[in-house]
Chain A
Amino acid sequence: MLYINCPHCGMRSQNEFSYGGDASVKRPELNKEVSDQEWDNFVYNRKSLRGKHLELWQHISGCRQWIKVERDTATHEIFRTFKADEEVA
């Protein structure tokens, strides 16, 4: 079971969190013309990366904040975690 450093609460076990997918996906802006391809990429198309991956988790049984987690999908190593509004450098 992963041990995730919630930027708001500290180290917590994975069973307090819910996975939320790729954190690098940006929703197209509202009221903007979006091509089929662009929309498909936003809704469906994901890379299944092996290695470092920035992903979303929600601390549902804790502070309920969505956070970003930089994790290696192969080794499960977690490098850094960020608040929802933190820019990932």
Chain B
Amino acid sequence: MTQAFRIENSGLINRDKKLSFKFNGKTYFGYEGDTLASALLANGVHLVGRSFKYHRPRGFFGAGVDEPYAVVQLYRNGETEPNIKATEQELFEGLEAKSVNCWPSVNFDIGAINNFLKIFLPAGFYYKTFMWPKSFWYRIYEPFIRKAAGLGVASTKHDKERYEHKYEYCDLLIAGSGPSGLAGAYAAAKNGAKVILAEDKPRFGGSLLTSDVNIGNQSGKDWAEGIVAELKTMPNVVVKNRSQIFGYYDHNMLVMSEKVSDHLPVTKKYHPNKRLWYIRAKEVLISSGSIERPIVFGNNDTPGVMLSSAAKEYLKVYGVLVGRKPLVFTNNDSGYETAIEFKKHGVDPVLLDSRKNPESEIIDEAKNLGINIKNSYVVVAAQGYKKVKSADIASISEDKKQLGKIENIQCDCICVSGFWTPTIHLASQSGNKTKFKEEIDAFVPGQSKQNEITLGAASGEFSLEETLKTSFTAGSELSKKITENDNKIAIPNVVEKKSSQHDKFWCVPLPKGKNYKRFLDFQNDVAVSDVEIALREGYRSIEHVKRYTTLGMATDQGKTSNLNGLQLVSEIENKVVPAVGHTTFRPPYTPVSIGAIVGREVGKHSKPTRNSPMHSWHEKNNAVFVDAGVWLRPRYYKRGNENLFEGSKREAKNVRTNVGVCDVTTLGKIDIKGPDAAELLNRVYTNAWLKLPVGKARYGVMLREDGIVMDDGTTTRISENHYHMTTTTAQAANVLSHLEYYLQLVWPELNVNVVSTTEQWAGAAIAGPKSRDLLQKLFPNSDVSNEGLPFMGYMEGDLFGTKARIFRISFSGELAYEVNVESNFGNFMWEKIMEVGEEFNIQPYGTEALSTLRIEMGHVAGSELDGRTIPFDNALEGLVSKKKDFIGKRSLQRSAFIAEDRQRIVGVVPLDKQTSIPEGSHLVKDDKAPLPNPKLGHISASCWSVEYDNPFSLAILKDGKNMIGQKLFAMSPLKNKVIPVEIVSSHYVDPKGERVRS
């Protein structure tokens, strides 16, 4: 197919490079430098989609970020992405795109029946209709609405593309490379400031690419090119195209999405698809320009109706005619500029101006070119279904209330201009209180809140000369403050045609007897009548009107619809627009890929992984790993076809009969030094610490100030003023912060230093009746007898030439030791233990066996210390000192904490000695009681007791102290289980604790 609407002598595209692409399965051609939109228009394709609610045909309305219609599903390199604006997507060889929101095809769309039912789909239709009956909601209504709604489908595949995050700091960040941004950037750069200039389009220059102006005796476009070329050579300047600053956050932090690869058929090797920049700027210059707004008239959503600035852009940037018989409908001089461009390229437009007798240089030029101009004329309605075929036009009275006789004129596009809306999103996001500027009928930034300044069209200043003057000045003043350089720059001469005042006219009245749909929001199908309904039904706040009608809620965020919506509300409410106010602008300004937001933090990079120094040994020996916080720990070491249950049972059994070794490197370790170290421990732990001798360890429990157990662990006195604290794996970081809090803020008089040594020491727990024999062989020169190293004793030893710390502590309840060496020697230690332990039938054991061993011993862990229990609940009240004060002690006097029937840890055994009790099951008295069945407690941890070869669980049970021997039921609705159980002591194995002391 030929590009029938491409013209020869215009455009910035590269005609030497022809590209093929597919749209809805059909192959077309375009050029390098095209967008998907311009390439389709060059091929005369105007029908690109269906509207959201009524499935009306949709074409192109804009030429960039403001596009409400042309949202497509993109296919690139085997991936698919929804919600892509055809006006922003650059063309590449092999691009494929499809229409969305239509079925079976864009040409014949069944949903279009909604268009004929539209009387049934007014504002609030969904809210009103689908409320009743309630049970219909998620069976019938929701699936139906979900199928009918939506703009494209998300890919369900893993995204192969890579996304990056980057943090950057600069003196001056400039959002937008139009005349204002370029002038500001240039002046600041010349003063030596560190500048970042961001442009969301591929080409720099903004309005200078399409306007007919001269700066410093060159065309605006050439001047822009020169400035950008010079900026690119400066080491203090970063110039970025395809980069959208989409959010302005606290303390001058802005976020920018850089499309690195979207314009290429395949992402280059080592390149990301997108890069998200977090930029902390000292000053921000917002030069985001303005967006043309439409005038509302009948059927103004017909394909072929578009913004006049877009028609001009397609012509001047892409060399594409959006029509051969254009009708321009304007209330200001911008429409004339578009008409002039048409005329210059051999096309005769008809121009309707709502104004009676405007005069300006631009209008004079149009008249001199012989353009057919009709003053006090408006478009009443577009005619045509899938494309504009003609327009009903009429003269309009001066008060804009009365239409003259309706005439029909042939046209194939309607280019509409209702003046310009400054893009104030970034300023508003920064906290700037915007104000309404009467002369331009739009909001502009007001008092700056952060270090931001808005210039040029974004501030409502449409004169190029004034914009350049203020922007050069601002760029040099802002940078002067930072760099203290003051390089004066001569502001270039500007030649631009003066324009006349626009007409405060935004909506064409309905002719008598006609009921045309007049759309405000093109993406969400919100018509004038919908807003009228909302107001009639009592909605007053603009925020409520927005949500009820969905005006401005689509992915284009109402860039073209907001102001006309406000005009309508103010007119009906008989208020001025500023009294109505505008809805809040929230980031992002345009949709941002989830991939870009997530960045590199996907898959195994979603969190750091911590491995112990023995990790590779575990891997080599068939360890099955489990996440413990960010650590990877062996859960069990698989032998043959063993499953978790069999493997962990074997490992636990071997600890009880022979000896096992467990990697306990992950335990938190804190080195505590200083003359007041004992005093700190005494205040932090619930038990007494002042009399712990050197070379001894002690178990301790620490509370939060509210009396809840925070953590437990052993702390060992290494020397007079030196302690080694261990914490649970999960709480290591919190405990360190906790200690630092009290040392720095509450008791700064304590002379103590704390530092994490978790990663400095590798730890191995050696447990089982044969552990002493093994230890003696590992440390032949040390006396590790029961007298030489008693329970809770500590000594240093020499492990084949490596310095080791030996603690006689036990979590398994067996005779056990913990050996620590410096991390670098962790693997050496482990291999030695395995080697020497062979004659004692040593086996490594994982966390599952570790759990089994501690559960049947009744030792508490994270599942009991769950942030809801006090020492008593865990049978740890014996460790609570009555004599001294400590953190959280006062809270233990709370009435609930001293209640007679306070919850307490118990053991639970199923009556059949067969059925494992699911963790989380509730304990109840009567399994047949009506719901909600009163809960007496819950199962906190379950195991298969290797000692008794039957299931055993721990539970936190109300009045647990007096419940031993009672028969209850463990109920798990989740697992659909009801298990009769008996309550026993939590110390199921070796209740007197003889083994650890043996």
A: residues with CB less than 8 A from B are 1-3, 13, 18, 20, 27-28, 30-31, 34, 39, 42-44, 56, 58, 60, 64-66, 75-76, 78, 84-85
Contact = CB atoms under 8 A, between A and B. Distances in A.
A65 B252 CA distance: 25
Given A76-B250, A76-B251, A84 B744 contact: yes
A84 B747 CA distance: 11
Most buried by A among B251, B449, B741: B251
11 contacts: A1-B251, A2-B250, A3-B252, A3-B280, A18-B737, A30-B683, A31-B885, A39-B891, A43-B705, A58-B737, A85-B748
Nearest to A39: B890
B890 A84 contact: no
A44 B884 CA distance: 23
A29 to B, nearest CB: 9
Residues of A contacting B: mostly? loop
A85 B745 CA distance: 7
B337 to A, nearest CB: 42
Given A30-B683, A43-B705, A58-B737, A3 B891 contact: no
Nearest to B280: A3
Nearest to B252: A3
Interface residues on B, range: 20 to 34
B253 A66 contact: no
A2 B884 CA distance: 42
A76 to B, nearest CB: 5
A67 to B, nearest CB: 9
B431 interface: yes
B758 to A, nearest CB: 14
A37 B17 CA distance: 80
Given A75-B449, A84-B744, 7 more contacts: A1-B250, A1-B253, A1-B278, A42-B705, A43-B706, A60-B733, A60-B737
B431 to A, nearest CB: 7
B249 interface: yes
B313 to A, nearest CB: 36
Contacts of B748: 84-85
B746 interface: yes
A2 B737 CA distance: 21
B885 A75 contact: no
B737 A27 contact: no
A58 B885 contact: no
A27 B740 contact: no
Contact of B745 (A28, A44, A75, A84): A84
Nearest to A64: B740
Report the 5 A-B pairs with minimum CB-CB distance, sorted nearest first.
A3-B251, A30-B885, A84-B744, A31-B885, A66-B744
A20 B280 contact: no
A22 B280 CA distance: 27
Most buried by B among A30, A60, A64: A30
Given A1-B253, A3-B252, A3-B253, A58 B706 contact: no
A44 B891 CA distance: 11
Interface string B241-257: 00000000111110000
Contacts of B740: 58, 64-66
Contacts of A28: 890
Contact of A2 (B251, B449, B683): B251
A66 B431 contact: no
A34 B890 contact: yes
B746 A27 contact: yes
Contacts of B746: 27
B280 A43 contact: no
A29 B431 CA distance: 43
A31 B431 CA distance: 49
B7 to A, nearest CB: 49
A46 B251 CA distance: 26
A60 to B, nearest CB: 7
A38 B744 CA distance: 23
Interface in B882-913: 884-885, 890-891
Interface string B212-253: 000000000000000000000000000000000000011111
Nearest to A3: B251
A10 to B, nearest CB: 12
A66 B251 contact: no
Contacts of B891: 39, 43
A66 B706 contact: no
Given A18-B737, A20-B741, A84-B745, A75 B431 contact: yes
Contacts of B745: 56, 66, 84
A62 to B, nearest CB: 13
Given A1-B250, A18-B737, A42-B705, A13 B280 contact: yes
Interface string B736-772: 0100110011101000000000000000000000000
